[in-house]
Each structure stands twice: as C-alpha cells, then as structure tokens.
Structure 1
Amino acid sequence: MEWTIQELAARAGITSRTLRHYDRVGLLAPSRVGENGYRFYDATAVARLQRILLMRGLGMGLPAIAEVLAEEVEAGDGLRAHIAALEAERDRIERQIRSVRHTLEALQAGAEPRMDVMLAGFNDHYKDEVVSRWGERAFQVSNDWWHGKTLDQQRAWKRAAEDLVAAWVAAVQAGAAPTSERAQSLAARHVQWLSQIPGTPTAEGERECSIEMVKGLGDMYVDDPRFAGMYDDAAGARFVRDALQAYARTRM
C-alpha cells in the first residue's frame, strides 16, 4: 500500500511542504516518484517518518535526527529505543497527574498538601536508604503505589501505621520482653504491614531477602535518630529492633 504526499501529510498532521523539505535535506525520500511527478510513500517510509516525528517531539533538531538515523544499523533497534523513551515519558506524566490530583484532593478536603509526610509522599524522605538497601526498583514501585492512593486511602494507611507504632510503645511501657508473645505478635503484625507495600522483599515473597530487610529495618530504627523519636525514645527503638530481629531469626 502506498500513500500520496497529500495523503501522508494529512494523516501525519504536517504539510506537503514539510515532506518535501525532509526530502531535500536527506531525511525522508519518497518510496517512488510517478511519471507524473507525484510522490508516493510505502510502509517503510511511513515508519521512518514516524521516527522523525517522534524525535521532533522530543525537541531534537533535524541535523541531530539525521545523525541518529544515519548511525542506525537496524530500524527495529531505533523503534525499541523510542518505545522505551515514550514509556518513560508516559510514566513521568502519570506521576505528575497523580501528584496534581493528590494536591487537588487535599485542597478540596481542606488539608494543607505540604503539612506532613503523608501528603509529601510515602518514602520520599527515605529514598537514599531504600535505594541503598533494596534498590531503585523497590523505591520506585512503592513510591508509585503510594502516590496512586487517594487522599482517604493515604490517611487510612497513616492511621494504621500510627496504630502499629502506638502498640509498640505500649508494649515497651508495659515492660514486655522482645521475645515475649506480645512483642512477637507485634513483630508479625509489622512484617505483615511491610508485605502490603509493593516492591519490598516481603511483598515479593523473597524469604531470604525479607529476613535481611526486617533485620536491616531493626538496625535502622536504632541507628537513625528520626526513628528513636517515633518509638518514644532510644530504648523503644532498641526494643522494636530486638523483637523484629528475634522474629526474623525464628519465625520467618
């Protein structure tokens, strides 16, 4: 099947003059020229035009596009690269949409979007720790999961997390031992809470990695002063660490 220059221009949303210019600068020649001088374009030419328009959409100039096309050995490689670039752009736009939607919902609910971690994002403040311990994918998947929640869902999750912390603090204040049934029940609840977060080893069902994650979190609760305050004081953080690590050793 072939298209005339007018048909191709109309379908591509450009002008015939643009197609002629692409021909003059060596970017896109017609597949054939009829005896009457009409230009015709086949599927291969249309695929090349698609690539040109995609690169133009990314802000590339014609000389740079010409270089890319000249260096390609196989057209499929270029198309695969463009698919990857478009998917990355799609993901970026989807994240922006979720962020703006979240802000709108917060404002409609009478909340200040920047007032706490809940509205700033799930683990943005701990990105470096998450990436260094469990990889970029763990951060991205869990972060996307969090930003995909509605404001009410985020509030419900935050309440559940606060309830878990309060239960830990109550166990410490009651004088429970880290290996007691009360503490181990809380540790099981803590691990179950972690398993709800996509991208984490506990959510993926990776036993060995999950054990290391739980132990690592226990260490982080003690080593990072931000968590000591969460569990009332340094002694509380050590209690949570010891309970989680005992659970990881014996029950996971």
Structure 2
Amino acid sequence: MDTKPIAYTMSEKENPAITVHVVKKSVTPNVPSGNDSSNVTPTTPVAPTPSTPTGETIKQPAKPTIPNYAAKKGAAVYATRALYLYKNENFKNSQRLVKYPKAKRVNRPMFVVTDYARSTNGVLHYKVRDVNHGSKTAGKVGYITADSKFVVPVYYQSMPKNKKIIIINKKGVNAYKDANLTKRVKNYKKGTRLTVKKIVKHNLASRYQLSNGDYMTANKKLIVQGDYQIINY
C-alpha cells in the first residue's frame, strides 16, 4: 500500500502557514474468532448415504399356496354337509354367525368365494358371501371351511360319461340360444332326460350345450349327470 505523505497547507490571517503531513496507514481487517457465534455462517448437514451389505438378499414374505382342489376367487360353491359361517378365519364357537344344516341337493346353501385365509395352525378357509337368494342369510360375509368333504363347486366341470343329464329342479330348467343364457327358447320340466354334446365355460360358470344346439346351466342344484331313475334330490 502507498504510504507517501500528503501535504496540506493551512493559512490564517493572523498566524503563519501551518503544514500538516498525513500518512495513510494500512489496516488489517478484524476477522471474528471461532468462538464468535454471531458471525458464523451455518453449514447444511449432509445425510449419510445408507449402505447395503453386498451379497445380502432381502426376502419378501411368501404368498400362501392354494391347493389345486380349492375353488377360484369368484367361483360358486355349495355345502354338502352341515357347516358354520364364522366371523374370522380362526374358527371359534364364539365367532359363529350362521349354522347351515345339511340339506337336499336342490336346497344346499350356496356361497361365492371372495378370498382365502389360513387359520393360525395353517388350515385353509374360504372367505365367502352368502348368495342364497330369498334367505334371511343372503348377503352375509364370513369364513367357511375349504375342506372338499364339506364344500364343492356348484357347477359341473366335465361331461357326463354317457352324455346324459336329468332335470331335478322342481320348477324345471330353461334352455337358451346363447351360452350367456339369453334368448330363452324352452323350459324343461323336472325329470326330463337330455343329451348334451359339450360343456362350455362362461366366466367362472359352466353350461351344457344340448344335442339340438341350445344351452343350459350346468348347476348341480338344477341338474344331475346320468341316465337313471330320478330320485328325491
């Protein structure tokens, strides 16, 4: 820095001239010490990057396995023996909602499977909705056993060996032009024997195509496979 003196001359009427010499002095700026928190610029903390151990695999919980005999979600099943509808998947007497007694084939209680669940000891159960139209229990939701000794699919899944079926519903069964059961063509009375030529899947239900090309439900509550003397269903 330049420190050369600068001269100023001052004069007064009554005093002799006075010369003042001014020298510029370099000034070192005052830097606050580390203890002066008022002038400290804050720094943004940096979050540590999480590290994943190499070679380690995170295991996801396994989905419950469903046996082949189990009905699909959305499929209809009915009870062949007496059973209870429970509030949850752990069957306890205090959790019973409805008792369904054993009934004749045409009156067996019917349910739609909406989900699966296992009890604490691993037994598979169905979560179901009661679809017994006209019954006081219709619409109830709960859990029933998935044991095939107690519940089975409502619809036939195969052709009868002799290609014969018998109508067992007391009001008869309708036949239709289409597999979606529209365009009704005829009502067949109870006891009528019919010949079928193939089974047709429609969503989660089944239909039989009759020898004349019309379609009829394959619901076990309405028809039975075989060609024998009708019994009291």
- TM-score (structure 1 length as normaliser): 0.22
Judging by fraction of residues, say which structure has more helix.
1
- TM-score (structure 2 length as normaliser): 0.23
Judging by fraction of residues, say which structure has more strand.
2
The structure, 1 or 2, with the larger RCO (C-alpha pairs under 8 Å, 6+ apart) is 2
